[in-house]
Amino acid sequence: MIIDATFWVAISFFIFILLIFYFKIPSKVIHLLDENINSIKKLVDDSEKLKEEAKNRLAEKERKLDGAKSEIKKMINDANDDAEKQVIKMNEILHHQMDVRKKNTEEKSRQMKIQAIRDVKNASLNIAFESIEKLMLNSLDKSKLDKIYNQSVDETKLALQKKSS
């Protein structure tokens, strides 16, 4: 039998294969691969859990944000309602004050009118008394009496015109 290099390569290959099986290299490789697969699966599961947790937190934050938006909208509406009520209240107060001032002005005007009438009456009485006094001092002559009467009427008219202007 001729032993050539091919024979020795074949023998070496079989010894190599036997050593691999003797030291259980394939099972160790399979075990290492299974461990790697398991760790990768664990990482994938953990990442999915984290993804779900992130989704839950995002949904919770969005609910809180929606709640805050609705609360802000409610606060704005309440503020607008309060502002409208304040405007209405201030309008009512203003109208009431204007009515009071109008009544006070009308009362002052009425009092001034009454006082003006009193002043005119007093002036008329004073003129009349002065006329009577002049008549009594002068003689009771008819022509003098007419002259004094006309003069008194003219004086009364002048005095009334001065008071009215």
- What span, in angstroms and rounded, lies between the C-alpha atoms of 113 and 163? 12
Q: Is the residue at 67 inside a domain?
A: yes
Q: Is the residue at 149 inside a domain?
A: yes
Domain count, the chain: 1
Q: Is the residue at 16 inside a domain?
A: no
Average pLDDT of the residues in 137-148: 68
- Among 151, 162, 149, 156, CA closest to 126: 156
Average pLDDT of the residues in 19-26: 86
> Length of the chain, please?
165
Q: Is the residue at 126 inside a domain?
A: yes
Domain that holds residue 115: 23-164
Q: Is the residue at 14 inside a domain?
A: no
Q: Is the residue at 6 inside a domain?
A: no
Burial of residue 142 (number of CB atoms within 10 Å: 0-12, 13-18, 19+): exposed
- What span, in angstroms and rounded, lies between the C-alpha atoms of 123 and 158? 11
Average pLDDT of the residues in 1-19: 87
Average pLDDT of the residues in 54-77: 93
Which is more confidently placed, 69 or 123? 69
Q: Is the residue at 9 inside a domain?
A: no
Q: Is the residue at 114 inside a domain?
A: yes
Percentage of the chain modeled with pLDDT above 70: 92
